[in-house]
A and B are shown apart, each in its own frame.
Chain A
Amino acid sequence: MRENVVIRTISRISVPFIQVFALYVIVHGAVGAGGGFQGGVAFAASFILMFIAFGLSGVEKRLGKKWLMVYSIIGIAIYAGIGFLCLAAGGNYLEYGAIESAVGVAHLHGYLIDAVEMGIGITVMAVMVSIISDVMDRDGESP
């Protein structure tokens, strides 16, 4: 890939902002529009921008191809785990109120929603990035 100072500098500056915005979207999911899916896609967009600006191999080396799949597993594990915790606390699946009343912490369900959204966000981000890295042009070499 040809060096392009403008593209690289701008990407380097904007990536953290995109990621902070993505986190905002995820956390906002508990109270309004937003949520894990949208936030996850926005987070993935920051990595996709890096792919475009810095080339595939460099970014992939930093991210770790295998780790992407591990992240996606971790994300779903968070989601499913909280769901199972609700069952253990005597409620229905994802009935956050059950954990809240079992533990006795006020407004815990809000944090649990955030945690679940985080789980979704991590999985969506990881899967999006791995899809892009699979379909991107590798200058003729096979993955």
Chain B
Amino acid sequence: MIEHLPVLLVTVPIVAALLILLLGWHDSRFCYPLTLATILFQFAGGIALLIEVMREGTIHYYLGGWAPPLGIEFVIDTFNGYILPIVLLLALATAVYARRSVEKEIKPEKIVSFYVLFQLLVTGLVGMTITGDIFNLYVFLEISSIAAYTLIASSRKPRAYVAALNYLVLGSIAGGFVLLGIGNLYVATGTLNMADLARLLPASYGLATVHTAFLLLVIGFSIKVALFPLHLWLPDAYTEAPSAVTVLISTVMAKVSVYAMFRVIFSVFTTAYFVETVPVTELILFIAAVAIVAGAVLAIAQEDLKRMLAYSSVSQVGYIVFALGVANQIALEGGLLHILGHAVMKGCLFMVAGVIIYRLGTSSFSDLKGVAATMPVTCAAFALAGASMIGVPPTIGFASKYYLVLGALEAGHWVYAAVLLAGSLLAVGYIWRFIEVAYFSASSHHEGGDHHPAPGVREAPLSMLVPMVILSILCLVLGIFVDPLMKIVAPAVSLLLGGA
């Protein structure tokens, strides 16, 4: 069974998605348990694959029994073996969280299709993570993207359509760039298998076709991960989407896009190409540094909690791409840790925003005064995850930024190391805004020392509270037990730096 797990992780959920659709027509109550069960299965499978990879080494699965480069293969190595459980953990947490929020935020007649698309989105992302074929990567990218566009548009808010359309246009352009890049690579080498590409490409490193392919792929994925000047779709999409969808796309989808970028740059082009043949690391570092600062400054300027968190994502993506620019062992360890750390903490923060919208119907700062009095657990979760976002020890956010700064110093980038620290200081600015409003402002609902909470505003429902609290505790636990984590991350980085 375990040897077929890679393909089952993709095919079983697709069949399940159809089953959700079919049963959902009969009775929409079937949808949720089925979705949860499927994602639970995927999560267990992801963990099993990680254990298997750590014990036995890289797993190859040949679809249809055709060996690559002829056939498509699924490859699970230490890098995506590490990403896959992160993706599925967050998908699971979101699935648990989604039920109540979906009941409130999605029209009843759209609930069935919501869960179908939710399942397809997760499946597309899983496929992107485990595939070893670059064209297959594009196909899964499109599956997940199209599901994401529709999920964003499923919100009741009218502006969600505009946000979804914006994202659709920019996402399709990104997809086009990626496809063109893949086409160029195919022209240059005649293969689409990633390992095979890495083997054949060095002979063509001088070709303009390959340079163009590199450029197209990097720009395409930069739009997908919302790297600073290309982030324009992100704030609207994150703000207008239903809460559960925001949690999913801001964590899982953003991380898988980053994964795809790393995979293509390191495993297809290898470090030799982008450090020596086409030295772009300085440029990437510069863009990442601008992203870190600009994202954080824009976040501070926002008047809405969800929008602020969205801009904070722009800033945090900068940290991960920064690791790519430094491209040494320590910085990349920090970058990979930040993929996990940012997924967990941003998932938690967006869940808090979702819960607040669920109870108060708004996430504008001016309406959140004194909200900590009525929703203490929610605000505590925000404080903990926020501390991790700032990088307070011993949270996971501290660990990843510590490695990033160390890596930057080792490579001699003193100025950029200072930028990283400045980014953390700016993060204090935007995290503190919510803390101040929630804890230290008199509630607008009960002026004059009257401490009765406003009607209808109370602590979040349990099914939303549990995943949120677990994620916020994970921020702390992962930060404390970072050493066992490094046993997974370090081999993954060695794999990336060692070429294919």
* Interface, chain A (partner B; CB < 8 A): 66, 69-70, 73, 76-77, 80, 83-84, 87, 91-98
Given contacts A76-B15, A92-B4, 10 further A-B contacts (CB under 8 A): A77-B15, A80-B11, A80-B15, A83-B11, A92-B7, A93-B11, A93-B61, A93-B63, A94-B63, A97-B65
A95 contacts which of B15, B21, B64 (Cβ < 8 Å)? B64
How near does chain A come to B133, taking the closest CB pair, in angstroms?
14
CA distance A9 to B62 in the complex (A): 50
A-side interface mostly: helix
Q: In the complex, are the beta carbons of B21 and A69 less than 8 A apart?
A: yes
Q: In the complex, are the beta carbons of A87 and B14 less than 8 A apart?
A: no
Q: In the complex, are the beta carbons of B64 and A94 less than 8 A apart?
A: yes
24 A-B contact pairs sorted by A residue (CB < 8 Å): A66-B25, A69-B21, A73-B18, A73-B21, A76-B15, A76-B18, A77-B15, A80-B15, A83-B7, A83-B11, A84-B11, A87-B4, A92-B61, A92-B62, A92-B63, A92-B65, A93-B4, A93-B11, A93-B61, A93-B63, A94-B64, A95-B64, A97-B65, A98-B65
Cβ of B22 within 8 Å of any chain A Cβ, yes or no, is yes
CA distance A97 to B18 in the complex (A): 27
Chain B residues lying within 8 Å of A69, measured Cβ to Cβ, are 21
Residues of B279-319 at the interface with A, using a CB-CB cut-off of 8 Å, are none
* Interface, chain B (partner A; CB < 8 A): 4, 7, 11, 14-15, 18, 21-22, 25, 61-65
CA distance A15 to B163 in the complex (A): 40
Write the chain A residue with the least CB distance to B11. A80
How near does chain B come to A111, taking the closest CB pair, in angstroms?
16
Q: In the complex, are the beta carbons of B18 and A93 less than 8 A apart?
A: no
Chain B residues lying within 8 Å of A96, measured Cβ to Cβ, are 64
Write the chain A residue with the least CB distance to B18. A73
Top 5 A-B pairs ranked by shortest CB distance? A95-B65, A93-B7, A94-B64, A92-B65, A73-B18
CA distance A70 to B62 in the complex (A): 31
Chain A residues lying within 8 Å of B15, measured Cβ to Cβ, are 76-77, 80
CA distance A84 to B65 in the complex (A): 14
Known: A92-B62, A94-B64. A80 touches B14 (CB 8 A): yes
CA distance A61 to B119 in the complex (A): 31
Write the chain A residue with the least CB distance to B61. A92
How near does chain B come to A87, taking the closest CB pair, in angstroms?
6
Q: In the complex, are the beta carbons of A73 and B22 less than 8 A apart?
A: yes
Chain B residues lying within 8 Å of A98, measured Cβ to Cβ, are 65
Write the chain A residue with the least CB distance to B25. A66
CA distance A70 to B18 in the complex (A): 9
CA distance A84 to B61 in the complex (A): 15
How near does chain A come to B487, taking the closest CB pair, in angstroms?
31
How near does chain A come to B48, taking the closest CB pair, in angstroms?
17
Chain A residues lying within 8 Å of B62, measured Cβ to Cβ, are 92
How near does chain A come to B139, taking the closest CB pair, in angstroms?
12
Known: A73-B22, A87-B4. A93 touches B64 (CB 8 A): yes
CA distance A115 to B61 in the complex (A): 23
How near does chain A come to B2, taking the closest CB pair, in angstroms?
12
CA distance A95 to B11 in the complex (A): 14
Chain B residues lying within 8 Å of A77, measured Cβ to Cβ, are 15, 18
Known: A76-B15, A80-B14. A91 touches B65 (CB 8 A): yes
How near does chain B come to A49, taking the closest CB pair, in angstroms?
26
Chain B residues lying within 8 Å of A76, measured Cβ to Cβ, are 14-15, 18
Write the chain B residue with the least CB distance to A83. B11
In the complex, which of the residues B7, B21, B25, B62 has the most CB atoms of chain A within 10 Å of its own CB atom? B7
Chain A residues lying within 8 Å of B63, measured Cβ to Cβ, are 92-94
CA distance A114 to B64 in the complex (A): 15
Chain A residues lying within 8 Å of B11, measured Cβ to Cβ, are 80, 83-84, 93
Chain A residues lying within 8 Å of B65, measured Cβ to Cβ, are 91-92, 95, 97-98
Q: In the complex, are the beta carbons of A92 and B64 less than 8 A apart?
A: yes
Chain A residues lying within 8 Å of B22, measured Cβ to Cβ, are 70, 73
CA distance A93 to B71 in the complex (A): 12
Chain B residues lying within 8 Å of A93, measured Cβ to Cβ, are 4, 7, 11, 61, 63-64
